[in-house]
């Protein structure tokens, strides 16, 4: 009882302390506290906290004069550069909401994200104008008169007729702090869109509290940042690992943010060394790309001691640490919109850790039937906890202290809720992720539910298949997924393989490699060779289009192979063999 009361009291006091924490307020506080200390490093530029605050003020005062008000959504489409940060901070000071648009989007995806944002104004970097021009006629609310083009040092397409040159407008704007808008930490800061690996992205609501809490949790607890630290970020600012974790960790703790324009595996360590990074934020695939680079002069010449991120698979965990001399890997589990968070604070290889504070533990791993989407319930009608090391779906209870703010679409929000889980009236957030928890309390990520398929009565994790097959010599990247066979239950495995330049594919050797390392039900029945594998802006492999394309040699570009157990090799799939498989003349 005392422990429960103590946990409640801690959370209550924490909320009181954080209730007025905002992005704009944090920047102004740091400008007063350590004004001349470096805030942002970008190329050869060094921007102090005072200079950054003044640049953000210039934008805030300009847009306030143009009528931008508290609660209004303004879309932002710009690549990583200091002007992006200044825009986000300036709008935050006005209480406006920034819709952070993925700069890799084009066509229907770009139209979708801009339209669901509800914005009538758009701040766009000159480097992104061309793809915007291509979709302007399809936008619901944004017109050229509401477009403000930030050229800065950039070149690109000509400004759309009727749009505004933001550089000229900013020249005369005041650098003084704008009149304080009465904001609370639970006011909305921005929309961050989900990755869109299995469909069109959804806009997740991000509050100032969520931004500040991310900086506190990941920067203070995870990386133990001090003002002398430099957080290197090569991930896009339109996504949570960039905007919440990298930016939040640096600004909340008074450290410097070293910003890269975009991720480059070949120049990563050189830039991190030049910017004097002491830590960096990662996505798992980013580290795999780095492992695939040749040995370089900067591999161990850097000052990076700790890294923090998510999606790192166990097969390269220790090899990465050894090659690049990294002391601590702070792997975490979280999602842009979710309320389930864990962090590896004890260097347990392969684990996403545990809740940072025991008092804030709202997690449960429950039994879930992948092929039917059913949560088995007991005689009383409640969900069942998984045993230690048993795979299930991770849920996060929605409470005052662990909220789920949902999406702009109420129907999409409702889909993520599971009610009456352990008692009548409770509500949990469905993460959509298969996890397990060991006896010591450490959580381990297994796979996205949509990326897990069932074959021959067994669940197959595409992540684990990718992890195992990625060790095949000369293989640059592998994407695993399940495809349907007419008349068969579940899905059978298929992989798309991208090899290094100069590497060759041996049907016999790859068969043997998979045969030795994968159980029968997980061995890919089909494979295709590709010159490139598409990823999202945050380096997550796209699977939907590959699944739709399937294995028909008459429609799939590039060679397709079929696993032939009798020949102990993958054989090229011909139209005749394809027809036999469809007619069930070939047994799988």
Residue range 495-526, pLDDT digits in tens:
999 999 999 899 999 999 999 888 788 899 99
Backbone angles phi, psi at 432, to 5 degrees: 80, 15
Interatomic CA distance for residues 562 and 494, integer angstroms? 9
CATH number for the domain that contains residue 386: 2.30.38.10
In a domain, 494, yes or no: yes
Same domain, 205 and 89: yes
Same domain, 163 and 299: yes
Q: What's the pLDDT score for residue 538?
A: 64
In a domain, 296, yes or no: yes
**Higher pLDDT residue, 343 or 449?**
343
Q: What's the pLDDT score for residue 196?
A: 55
Enumerate the β-bridge partners of residue 124.
77, 149
pLDDT digits (tens, 9 = 90+) for 393-407: 999 999 887 889 888
pLDDT of residue 93 exceeding 90, the answer is yes
In a domain, 16, yes or no: no
What are the DSSP calls for 109-147, one per residue? Answer: HHHHHHHHHT-SEEEEEGGGHHHHHTTGGG-SS--GGGE
CATH number for the domain that contains residue 207: 3.40.50.12780
In a domain, 33, yes or no: yes
Interatomic CA distance for residues 505 and 528, integer angstroms? 11
- Point out the domain boundary residue: 276, 308, 337: 337
Same domain, 407 and 262: no
Same domain, 123 and 259: yes
pLDDT digits (tens, 9 = 90+) for 532-573: 888 776 667 778 788 888 999 999 988 999 999 999 999 999
Same domain, 405 and 527: no
Backbone angles phi, psi at 193, to 5 degrees: -90, 140
Q: How many domains does the chain fold into? A: 3
Where does residue 494 fall: left (phi above 0), alpha (psi -120 to 50 degrees), or beta otherwise? Answer: beta
Percent of the chain predicted with pLDDT > 90: 69
Q: What's the pLDDT score for residue 491?
A: 83
pLDDT digits (tens, 9 = 90+) for 130-174: 989 989 999 999 999 999 999 988 887 888 889 999 999 999 999
The model's confidence at residue 478, banded by pLDDT at 50, 70 and 90, is: very high
In a domain, 28, yes or no: yes
Closest CA to 73 of 114, 108, 12, 131: 114
pLDDT of residue 258 exceeding 80, the answer is yes
The pair of structure tokens assigned to 74 is 């303004």
8 A C-beta contact, residue 483 and residue 551: yes
Helices 314-324, 462-469: inter-axial angle, 10-degree rounding: 50
Q: Where are the beta strands (DSSP E) in 185-227?
A: 188-193, 203-207
Interatomic CA distance for residues 333 and 379, integer angstroms? 32
Q: What's the pLDDT score for residue 199?
A: 54
Same domain, 267 and 381: no
Same domain, 392 and 325: no
Enumerate the β-bridge partners of residue 168.
none
Interatomic CA distance for residues 302 and 296, integer angstroms? 12
Same domain, 257 and 126: yes
pLDDT digits (tens, 9 = 90+) for 35-92: 999 999 999 999 999 999 999 999 999 999 999 999 999 999 999 999 999 999 999 9
Interatomic CA distance for residues 254 and 249, integer angstroms? 8
- Point out the domain boundary residue: 448, 469, 491: 448
Same domain, 291 and 151: yes
DSSP state letter for 241: I
| pLDDT average, residue stretch 376-404 | 94
The model's confidence at residue 128, banded by pLDDT at 50, 70 and 90, is: very high
Closest CA to 247 of 98, 437, 67: 98
Interatomic CA distance for residues 198 and 145, integer angstroms? 34
The model's confidence at residue 2, banded by pLDDT at 50, 70 and 90, is: very low
Same domain, 72 and 164: yes
Distances in Å between the Cα of 360 and the Cα atoms of 8, 282, 398, 539 are: 9, 25, 11, 30
**Tally of residues, the chain:** 588
Q: Is 223 exposed, middle or buried (0-12, 13-18, 19+ CB in 10 A)?
A: buried
Q: What's the pLDDT score for residue 283?
A: 87
Distances in Å between the Cα of 61 and the Cα atoms of 53, 169, 582 are: 12, 11, 65
Backbone angles phi, psi at 514, to 5 degrees: -65, -40
H/E stretch holding 309: strand 306-310
Interatomic CA distance for residues 12 and 218, integer angstroms? 21
In a domain, 14, yes or no: no
pLDDT of residue 11 exceeding 70, the answer is no
- Point out the domain boundary residue: 426, 448, 470: 448
Q: What's the pLDDT score for residue 366?
A: 97
Q: What is the CA radius of gyration of the chain?
A: 25
Residue 397, helix vs strand vs coil: strand
What are the DSSP calls for 511-580, one per residue? Answer: HHHHHHHS-GGGS-SEEEE-S---B-TTSPBP-HHHHHHTT-TTTSSS-EEEEETTTTEEEEPPHHHHHH
CATH number for the domain that contains residue 540: 3.30.300.30
Q: Which domain range does residue 439 map to?
A: 358-448
In a domain, 159, yes or no: yes
The pair of structure tokens assigned to 270 is 């050189």
Same domain, 439 and 465: no
The pair of structure tokens assigned to 580 is 């036999």
Reading across the β-sheet that carries 121-125, which strands appear in turn?
A: 164-165, 147-150, 121-125, 73-77, 97-100, 188-193, 203-207
- Listed in sequence order, the residues at least 6 apart from 413 whose beta carbon sits closer than 8 Å to its beta carbon are 404, 406, 407
Same domain, 381 and 511: no
In a domain, 588, yes or no: no
């Amino acid at each position: 009882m005392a422990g429960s009361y103590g946990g409640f009291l801690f959370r209550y006091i924490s909320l009181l302390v954080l209730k007025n924490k905002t992005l704009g307020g944090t920047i102004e506080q740091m400008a007063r506290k350590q004004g001349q200390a470096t805030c942002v490093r970008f190329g050869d530029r060094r921007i102090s906290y005072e200079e950054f605050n003044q640049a953000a003020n210039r934008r805030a005062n300009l847009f306030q004069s143009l009528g931008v008000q508290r609660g209004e959504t303004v879309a932002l489409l710009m690549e990583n550069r200091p002007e992006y940060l200044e825009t986000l901070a300036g709008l935050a000071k006005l209480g406006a909401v920034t819709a952070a648009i993925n700069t890799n989007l084009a066509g229907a995806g770009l139209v979708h994200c801009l339209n669901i944002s509800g914005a009538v104004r758009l701040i766009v970097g000159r480097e992104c104008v061309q793809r915007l021009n291509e979709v302007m006629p399809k936008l619901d609310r944004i017109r050229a008169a509401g477009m403000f083009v930030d050229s800065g040092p950039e070149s690109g397409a000509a400004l759309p007729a009727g749009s505004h040159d933001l550089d000229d407008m900013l020249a005369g704007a005041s650098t003084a702090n704008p009149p304080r808008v009465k904001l609370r930490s639970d006011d909305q800061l921005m929309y961050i869109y989900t990755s869109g690996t299995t469909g069109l992205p959804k806009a997740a609501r991000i509050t100032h509290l969520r931004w500040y809490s991310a900086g506190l949790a990941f920067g203070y607890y995870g990386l133990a940042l001090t003002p002398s630290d430099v957080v290197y970020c090569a991930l896009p600012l339109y996504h949570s690992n960039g905007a919440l974790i990298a930016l939040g960790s640096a600004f909340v703790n008074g450290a410097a943010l070293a910003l890269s324009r975009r991720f480059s595996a070949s120049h990563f360590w050189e830039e991190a060394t030049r910017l004097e990074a002491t830590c960096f934020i990662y996505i798992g695939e980013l580290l795999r790309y780095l492992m695939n680079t040749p040995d370089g002069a900067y591999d161990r010449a850097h000052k990076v001691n700790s890294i923090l991120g998510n999606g790192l698979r166990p097969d390269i965990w220790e090899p990465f640490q050894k090659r690049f001399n990294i002391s601590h890997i702070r792997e975490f589990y979280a999602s842009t919109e979710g309320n389930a968070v864990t962090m590896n604070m004890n260097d347990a290889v392969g684990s996403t850790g545990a809740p940072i504070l025991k008092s804030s533990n709202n997690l449960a791993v429950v039994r879930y039937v992948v092929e039917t989407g059913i949560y088995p319930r007991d005689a009383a009608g409640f969900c069942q906890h998984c045993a230690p090391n048993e795979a299930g779906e991770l849920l996060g209870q929605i409470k005052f202290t662990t909220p789920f703010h949902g999406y702009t679409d109420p129907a999409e929000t409702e889909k993520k809720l599971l009610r009456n889980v352990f008692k009548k009236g409770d509500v949990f957030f469905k993460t959509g992720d298969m996890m397990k928890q060991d006896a010591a309390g450490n959580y381990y990520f297994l796979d996205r539910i949509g990326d897990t398929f069932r074959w021959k009565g067994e669940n197959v994790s595409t992540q684990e298949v990718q992890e195992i097959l990625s060790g095949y010599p000369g293989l640059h990247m592998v994407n695993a997924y399940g495809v349907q066979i007419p008349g068969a239950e579940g899905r059978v495995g298929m992989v798309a393989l991208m090899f290094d330049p100069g590497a060759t594919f041996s049907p016999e050797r790859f068969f043997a490699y998979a045969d030795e390392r994968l159980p029968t039900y997980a061995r890919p029945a089909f494979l295709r060779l590709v010159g490139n594998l598409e990823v999202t802006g945050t380096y997550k492999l796209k699977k939907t289009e590959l699944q739709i394309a399937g294995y028909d040699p008459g429609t799939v570009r590039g060679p397709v192979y079929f696993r032939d157990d009798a020949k102990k090799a993958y054989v090229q799939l011909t139209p005749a063999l394809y027809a036999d498989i469809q007619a069930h003349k070939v047994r799988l």
